[in-house]
Structure 1
């Protein structure tokens, strides 16, 4: 009876994880209402209890149970299905790892000990209570776990990728349940299972890095093709205007030639050679970066952050971004192929904004002073320089945010973390 009570309590905890996880990493407009949240919880709990006590073969019952949980997740998160798939995968990973680790330890160590307690108490103290402790640690470090999961939403073709991830978890867990019914070679099988999981994690990280680069290259290719088309049009226009100039020359209309040349010069002086690549840039971000484009700086933008409900006003965010971008443009004025990269993405507790430029490396001694009021690397006899980044520091302090600088010979990155209102 006592064991059944602990089993029901663990089922409730696992249900909470399946419901709480996708809702925590979901975008703000895709979070469940209280009614839907509790409805989701009740249906998931009923599903787990039904298949646990159904009498169906263990691995098959587990497969069907998790498949139904996945279907329920799809139904409740159909507005943005990636949130549902990703949340299910993360919750399933947490539960499987905790269960697998504790079961393996119990089978190969605790169960073999001659302890003056019943088998039920062994299970309670070796599996159930440690499992609750591990679930508490997951809650304690949820920020880091959820941030890792949220970053996967930025992957290209993320829906297909996360679907494969969920299927792999379901398949491996079913395979694991088949393995633990065998008494021979449990540790060997456990080693293979762990090695496969570690390999999968490293493959995921590697894929994510390649994905970021491929998106950037793809956008650059599109922008270059647009520039080539623009240059072809200019070439065509030049051909027509040169023919007109030659015709005027033959007719001896020198005054008309001068006026036409002046118009050509003025028109083509306004042609901007800078490349502007944007992925769903918000109007505020676009307005800030337009300054850089107008100054002849190439701009690459991946603006995926959710700026609603931040501990900062829209006007303060505009000041923050403008000062960093203007500072970047300033250091790029004499640089070949000047480029600014802007990237934003949501995390569990706020938004991360990264603004990078390919200007010169910032020495360590300057990095320590760069946010001080009045500090400038240029001539500042008038005393009106060196206040832009100090304003940035003041805004970050006011909103309990964090800003850091990472600089090397290739790139200088300003990384900003702004929290959401509690």
Structure 2
């Protein structure tokens, strides 16, 4: 089929487009079970070959016109036109892993596949006009190419107009969705700490108080309570929390791990928890909720302390454990050392500490090795 196309049309501009289509069809028939993968692989290699041919043809035309000493022999033509193809073949084999990575990236994105195919068609037109400019094309084929180019441009305009239209529709939907999410976040912020407290009463079996508060909510009185510690009163964390001025902050404690399973000194543990709690209370500016949770994760005792205060910017988050670092306007000599002390204590027990922050909450996570 390729030989017939070349026989009837030679190296004309139209032949370039037809050969591209013919090779794509043949590849599709051979790899019909995965035509998409075949089309991407073919288009990638085809693009590299056509780009090389366009550059080689340009160099050949420039050199053949300006270097009078060079006889336009077959050796000159082969050197300029075909030698770069051998170099390209070597580079493709040498960089096959990179090309395969590019192939996988394109295959994973529908838009990239379409852009790749459009790019190969643009290359065909560039190669075709290269033949037309150098007066190597039949006038009839030139007219056909110009007509096809006009049709292609119209198609591109319509295609990208539809994309822009869909993009605006998605943008409008996203805007409406953001408004709904914002409303839900406000509701969550307003009722999150109260729900946590109600759940704490349920865990403690205080159903009488729970029923009373639920009745208040039904009656329209949603101001449940402030400055409450929901926990096991005999736990170490509970005792630490009770020594701190919580202001109007609700604290919910859920302990599912025993500190005795670690080598951590109780006094050091108190310093770790109290420093993070004081930092959280300052971030909440006197009102909000704090959740403290302990559990086991493989060979670690995990302590999580979460507050629903404002998001901490990344530039501050990266320095939050630095000794002496503080965001307070009144930078007293004793400020900026609490979290640095926490990090030092945790690492002294071969533990690790992490912090994350979003617009919903800030969370400190501490991992302490358990006794093996």
The TM-score normalised by the length of structure 1 is 0.36
The TM-score normalised by the length of structure 2 is 0.40
Larger Rg: 2
